Chains A and B, each alone.
Chain A
Amino acid sequence: MSPVRRRDALRLAGTALALSACGVKGRAATPDVTSFWAGKRRTGRLSWANWPGYIEDDRATLTAFEKDTGIRVAYREAIQEMGPWFGKIRAPLAAGQSIGFDLMVMTNGIQLEQCRRLGYLAPLDLSRLPNFAAHAAPGFRNPSYDPGNAFTVPYEAGITGIAYNTKYVDEEITSIAQLFAPKYRGRVGMMSDAQELGSFGLFSVGVDPETSRPSDWEKAAARLRRQRDDGIVRKYYTQDYVDAVSKGDVWLTMAWSGDVYTLTSPDVKFVVPSEGGTLWTDNLCIPRTASSPVDALTLMDWLYLPAHNAPLTEFVNYITPVSGVQEIVRRDAAQATGRERADLTRLGASPLVFPSASDMARLRRYRRLTPDEQPRYLGIFEPIARGS
């Protein structure tokens, strides 16, 4: 079984809502590294929540880690989407209770920012992450969404760009402007996530999302709304665009790089648009209430040794934050034979997994929204995908 689908399950999972309505208290996060880690000991056990398909099917990486360190890992594909995940962990974390996991993978964005600000995450003791210090690729250190890697280290990253089906589109797609072209009326897919959609809207009006201002948001939203009202958008997708673009329901669509690499038909191509693409990062972080935080830290550091990380990246096909992996993949390719050799060669050369410097230069992150900005940003972009 090969398919890797990072955001596989339906977003519809969330029905039960544990809501403590009255008085959700806020707390500013102050990195209190020493006091948090004082007295914390290795337990030899670790419980890890991750997205579906984000590790080898046979869990080879976990087996290697268990053999190396003697720490037993309970691995669950418990995360389908950030909103519902945050909804699930918020109440216990606010009450200082365990969520049953010592390690979780969260995408940079609104919910991670909320976890940081609400003090739900354990401050990382960077002195215990020597491999991270030695091997983290430059683009993944000290990210704007978590200055100084105070709470997170990247797990894998990906690009939001454009996927198009060459069976139906007979020109080269190179820019976001083509997503607005009237000739593709009813054949364009956009993403419903406000940060994804907003970022593309901002690119389309020539603004860098990371440094955008509310007046830019209004301008971008107006453009996106026109695109919708002119009937150009067939559907706003959460993750099911993969099927739609493979089968030709939509011809071109916003897409995530790793999905396109593994999941779509060979007719589907992925491009980083000339205006820019979005670089998102899924991050390892430790909930403050974890019962085995030392073991979680050990795994974080272990994954940053290139030799440990390469097999994982060879499977998940997203962008690894660990430098030196591309060389290992190429070496593995040279040693492999047959189909595996072809696969690894393709991977080692893939601009989706190892983006070129010029692609990287065009990538931007979501804007890190302050608590004041967030409702305004969402108020502007959310209604578009909801048809209002």
Chain B
Amino acid sequence: MPFSRRLAPYLLVLPGGLWLAVFFVVPVAMMASLSLQTGNLIDGFRQTFHWQNYTDGLGTYGDTFVRSLWYGLLATILCIALAYPAAYWIAFRAGRRKSSYLLLLLIPYFVSFVLRTVAWKLVLTDNGPVLGPLRDHGIVPSDFHVLDTTTAVVAGLTYTYLPFMVLPVYVALERLDPRLIEAAHDLHADRTAAFARVVLPLSLPGVFAGVVMTFVPASADYVNAEILGGPRNTMIGNVIQAQYFDDGAYPVASALSFTLMAILLAGIFLYARALGTRGILDTPTP
């Protein structure tokens, strides 16, 4: 094999690799170093290997971590429940209009998600177009509200990350060979059995990818909790954001970021071990 041929893969990877090295590896390394420093903005930060940043962060905001993961999990489950039927319908029943429906699904996401979240606020306000009439007709109690509650935050998260579930599930279903379903019917499988034993297992890699793409950003989200949440709905992203920008507490903020990253990585690892990563990259072939 000529030299240049052997070198080619490395050359191809070089631009992306450099990009990641400069804008991902270096910042992460700096954050790792920062997370063990002590000091303040005025006197400067010094490296003291202060592991207490981690225990302090977890000690003060442990409940916030739990809440964030819980919200992320709820949003992910809701996303699966909403996205799977939609993706299924588009993949198998939409015929020629598949791409139109996919586009329809994505159109709202052409608007900045902060704006969309703020718009929810207008809709869901206590005396707004939804809750006002419901209360006037006695359908909900007079002190019922949606804004500033867990419901609002989880609903917002679900909405924000829905396409990240629909698209991978759709791709998995779309490339499923219809002849497999016919074969299942030929082998006396009824529709339920064909779905449960053929379609569902073959679409799981899409669901797996969707779960990762939904759960990770949803758990780390801070926009929905900020705009739609109340005092008891703060997520860890809000805390990290505030520690950086409002407090200048860079070390603790970095330590919290790393803790979150570690928890999410561990979670994904366990999840992958449990369900298997086989098939994420494989094309399901007959």
Q: Mark A56-84, 1 if CB is under 8 A from B, else 0.
A: 00000000000000000000000001011
CB-CB contacts below 8 Å: B53-74 with A: 60-61, 63-64, 67
Indicate if B223 sits at the interface (CB-CB under 8 A): yes
Indicate if A236 sits at the interface (CB-CB under 8 A): yes
Q: Are B114 and A235 in contact (CB under 8 A)?
A: no
Query: Which of A87, A371, A387 sits near B232, CB closer than 8 Å?
Result: A387
Query: Which of B44, B222, B230 sits near A24, CB closer than 8 Å?
Result: B44
Chain A residues engaging chain B, CB cutoff 8 angstroms: 10-12, 14, 17, 19, 21-26, 81, 83-84, 86-87, 90, 110, 114, 117-118, 186, 193-194, 228, 233-236, 240, 243-244, 247-249, 371, 374-375, 378, 382-383, 385-388
Indicate if B145 sits at the interface (CB-CB under 8 A): yes
Cβ of A25: which chain B residues have Cβ within 8 Å of it? Answer: 44
Indicate if B174 sits at the interface (CB-CB under 8 A): no
Indicate if B198 sits at the interface (CB-CB under 8 A): no
Query: Which of B127, B147, B227, B249 sits near A375, CB closer than 8 Å?
Result: B249
Shortest B142–chain A CB gap in Å is 11
CB-CB contacts below 8 Å: B182-232 with A: 222-223, 226-227, 229-232
Minimal Cβ-Cβ distance residue in A for B239: A386
Q: Are B42 and A118 in contact (CB under 8 A)?
A: yes
Indicate if B246 sits at the interface (CB-CB under 8 A): yes
Q: Which of B40, B42, B60 gathers the greatest number of chain A CB atoms within 10 Å?
A: B42
**Prevailing SS type, chain A contact patch:** mixed
Query: Which of A10, A84, A240, A249 sits near B145, CB closer than 8 Å?
Result: A249
Q: Are B125 and A26 in contact (CB under 8 A)?
A: no
Q: Are A233 and B231 in contact (CB under 8 A)?
A: yes
Q: Are B231 and A385 in contact (CB under 8 A)?
A: yes
CB-CB contacts below 8 Å: B221-278 with A: 222-223, 226-227, 229-234, 238-239, 241-242, 244-250, 254
Given contacts A83-B246, A117-B42, A387-B232, whether A249 and B143 have CB atoms under 8 Å apart is no
Indicate if B100 sits at the interface (CB-CB under 8 A): no
Chain B residues engaging chain A, CB cutoff 8 angstroms: 27, 30-31, 33-34, 37, 39-47, 60-61, 63-64, 67, 114, 118, 121, 125-128, 143, 145, 147-148, 222-223, 226-227, 229-234, 238-239, 241-242, 244-250, 254
Distance of A235 Cα from B233 Cα, bound (Å): 10
Minimal Cβ-Cβ distance residue in B for A114: B41
Q: Which of A21, A25, A186, A240 gathers the greatest number of chain B CB atoms within 10 Å?
A: A21
Distance of A118 Cα from B143 Cα, bound (Å): 50
User: What are 5 A-B pairs with beta-carbon distances under 8 A?
Assistant: A25-B44, A26-B41, A83-B242, A110-B246, A378-B247
Cβ of A19: which chain B residues have Cβ within 8 Å of it? Answer: 27, 30-31, 34, 250
Cβ of A81: which chain B residues have Cβ within 8 Å of it? Answer: 245
Q: Are B46 and A388 in contact (CB under 8 A)?
A: no
Q: Are A388 and B61 in contact (CB under 8 A)?
A: yes
Distance of A150 Cα from B127 Cα, bound (Å): 49
Q: Are B127 and A235 in contact (CB under 8 A)?
A: no
Distance of A17 Cα from B27 Cα, bound (Å): 10
Cβ of A194: which chain B residues have Cβ within 8 Å of it? Answer: 246-247
Minimal Cβ-Cβ distance residue in A for B64: A388
Cβ of B64: which chain A residues have Cβ within 8 Å of it? Answer: 386-388
Q: Are B245 and A235 in contact (CB under 8 A)?
A: no
Q: Are B244 and A17 in contact (CB under 8 A)?
A: yes
Shortest A347–chain B CB gap in Å is 30
Q: Are B234 and A247 in contact (CB under 8 A)?
A: no
With A234-B148, A234-B231 known, 7 other A-B pairs at CB within 8 A are A10-B227, A19-B31, A26-B44, A83-B242, A186-B145, A243-B121, A249-B127
Cβ of A248: which chain B residues have Cβ within 8 Å of it? Answer: 126-127
Distance of A17 Cα from B127 Cα, bound (Å): 38
Q: Are A24 and B126 in contact (CB under 8 A)?
A: no
Cβ of A110: which chain B residues have Cβ within 8 Å of it? Answer: 246, 248
